[in-house]
Amino acid sequence: MKATRVHVSRRQLLAGGATLALGLHPLRGWAQKPTVKLAFIGPLTGGTASNGLGGRNSFQLALRERNADPKAKYRYEAEILDDECKPTVAVQAALKASSDPAIIAGVTHYCSVTAIATVDTYHKAGMPAMVWGAVLPEITYSHQHVEITRVNGTMINQNNVAADFAVKTLGFKTFALIHDTTDYGRAHAKWFSEFVEKAGGKILSTQGTAKDQKDYAAELTRAKADKPEVLWYGGLTPDGVRVRVQMEKLGVRAQFQGTSGIKSDTFNETAGPSAEGTLAFVEGAPTEKLPGGKQFLAAYAKAGFQEPSEAYGPFAYVAANLVMDAIEAVGPDRAKVAARLKRTKQQDTIIGPVEFDEHGQNTVPLISKYVSQDGKWVLWEDSEYASGKRTLPGLKYKKM
C-alpha cells in the first residue's frame, strides 16, 4: 500500500506534541478524511485569461474554505487545466480530467466554444461538469445529458435586455453588427438581431469575422458606409478591443456596444481611452451587490490572490460549492453526484437561490447593464451617464 505523506510545520509539531501529551490526536480528523479530486477547466492563457484566472482563484477559494470546515467528510484537491479558450485544447483537457477516476466532477469552461465542444466528452465518461461562465444556450439545451449543468445564465436573456435597453431606453434605432464566426458569436448575433427588430430597431448589416482577426478595416469601412447609430460586436475581449480601437482610427461615429464577452478588466486596460462609454451586459448582479457578494469579496481579498475575481468568479465559486455539497450528500460517485446536481432546487448561494430546470440550466433572470467609465466597468444605474453628467458617445453623434 502506498504511504500517504503529510507535511507538518515545526509549529504544528510543537502544538501536536503538547496535545499528544494530553492524550489527544490533533491530526487524526484531517488525516483520516478521504481525498476527492475536482477539476477546474478554463482559459488560463491567451486573451481571455483574466476571466479564467479569476474563475480558477474563486474555485480554489471554495476548496480552501471547505477543507477548513471540520464538518466536511472529505478533503478536496484541485486539478487545474487550461483550455486556452480553444475547442481542441478543451477536449484534450476534458479527456484528461474525465479519464482520471480520482476526479469525481469538474467546474468547467468560460468560453462557449469550449463548453459546447466538450459536453459529449463528459457525457461519455459519466463525469459531472458544471459550466461556470459560457452562455451559449445549446450547452444545456441541445441534449439530455444528466452530467451537464450550468450555474450562470444564457445569452438569450442577456440579448433581450441589451436590445430593449438600446432601442427603448437610449433611443437608438439603427445597428451594424460584427461578430466572430464561432458558435458563440453567431448565436449572439442571432438573438440580438431578433430582439432588436422586436423592439422596433433595424439591423443595417451583419458581418462575420474570424476569431483572433487582427485587421477589421474592411468590415468597419462597410459598417461606416451604413451610418449606424450603434456598432455592436459579438465576441470576446481581445477582438472586441481591436474593433473598438480601430473604430476610432477609421472615424466610425457610432455607439459601441458589446456582449458579456468583453466585460473584463482587460478590455478597459487594453483599449485605454477608447473604452470610455462602451456598453456591456452580464448575467446576475455586480459581485458587491450579490446576496453574499461582500462576504465573497472579503474572503477573496484575504486569500491574497493576485488577479481579480472578474465577473464570473462568483459563478465558479458557487459551482464548486454545489459540487462539493452533492459529494458530501451522496459520496464521491460520479453517477450519484450528477443526478443530485441535476435536481438542485432553491439552493442558497452567494449569487442567490440556484435552481436548475429539466436541462440543468440555472434560471437567472437578472441581467446587469454596464458602461465603461474612467477605465472601469460601472453599473449603469450608478454611472454618470445614467445621472446625466456625461453623454454616451453614440448620443453625442446623434446630435451632430
Reported as a single tens digit per residue, the pLDDT across 256-270 is: 999 999 999 999 999
Query: How many other CB atoms are found less than 10 A from the CB of residue 27?
Result: 13
The pLDDT of residue 354: 94
CB contact burial 131-146 (16+ within 10 A = b; e otherwise): bbbbbbbebbeeeebe
The pLDDT of residue 363: 83
The pLDDT of residue 285: 86
Q: What is the dihedral of CA 276, 281, 287, 288, to 10 degrees?
A: 60
The pLDDT of residue 3: 34
Query: How many other CB atoms are found less than 10 A from the CB of residue 1?
Result: 3
- pLDDT at residue 29 above 80? no
Q: Mind giving me the DSSP string for 41-80?
A: EE--SSTTHHHHHHHHHHHHHHHHHHHT-TT-SSEEEEEE
Q: Which three cell numbers stand for residue 207?
A: 458581418
User: CA nearest 97: which of 67, 126, 139?
Assistant: 126
- pLDDT at residue 12 above 70? no
The pLDDT of residue 30: 53
Reduced to 3 states, what is the DSSP secondary structure of residue 243?
A: helix
The two beta strands, 129-131 and 279-283, are: unpaired
Q: pLDDT of 267-307, one tens digit each?
A: 999 999 999 999 999 988 889 999 999 999 999 999 999 99
The pLDDT of residue 24: 40
26-40, 52-66, 200-214 — which is least confidently predicted? 26-40
Confidence of residue 365 (pLDDT cuts 50, 70, 90): low
- pLDDT at residue 15 above 80? no
Cβ atoms of residues 134 and 116 within 8 Å: yes
User: CA nearest 103: which of 14, 35, 172?
Assistant: 35
Q: pLDDT of 140-161, one tens digit each?
A: 999 999 999 999 989 998 999 9
The H or E element containing residue 165 is none
The pLDDT of residue 39: 98
Classify 372 in phi/psi space as left (phi over 0), alpha (psi -120 to 50) or beta.
beta
- pLDDT at residue 99 above 70? yes
Q: What is the dihedral of CA 279, 284, 286, 291, to 10 degrees?
A: 170
Query: How many other CB atoms are found less than 10 A from the CB of residue 260?
Result: 27
Q: Which three cell numbers stand for residue 35?
A: 481525498
CB contact burial 77-105 (16+ within 10 A = b; e otherwise): ebbebbbbbbbebbbbbbeebbeeeebbb
The pLDDT of residue 399: 83
Which of the 8 DSSP states describes residue 107?
A: E
The pLDDT of residue 398: 86
Q: Mind giving me the DSSP string for 172-228?
A: --EEEEEEESSHHHHHHHHHHHHHHHHHT-EEEEEEEE-TT----HHHHHHHHHH--
User: CA nearest 369: which of 54, 179, 183, 157?
Assistant: 157
- pLDDT at residue 235 above 70? yes
- pLDDT at residue 380 above 60? yes
Q: pLDDT of 311-349, one tens digit each?
A: 899 999 999 999 999 999 999 999 999 999 999 999 999
Average pLDDT over residues 180-187: 94
Confidence of residue 16 (pLDDT cuts 50, 70, 90): very low
The pLDDT of residue 31: 59
Average pLDDT over residues 194-202: 98
Which of the 8 DSSP states describes residue 5?
A: P
The H or E element containing residue 134 is none
Q: pLDDT of 340-356, one tens digit each?
A: 999 999 999 999 999 99
Confidence of residue 376 (pLDDT cuts 50, 70, 90): very high
The pLDDT of residue 353: 92
Mean pLDDT of all residues belonging to the chain: 92
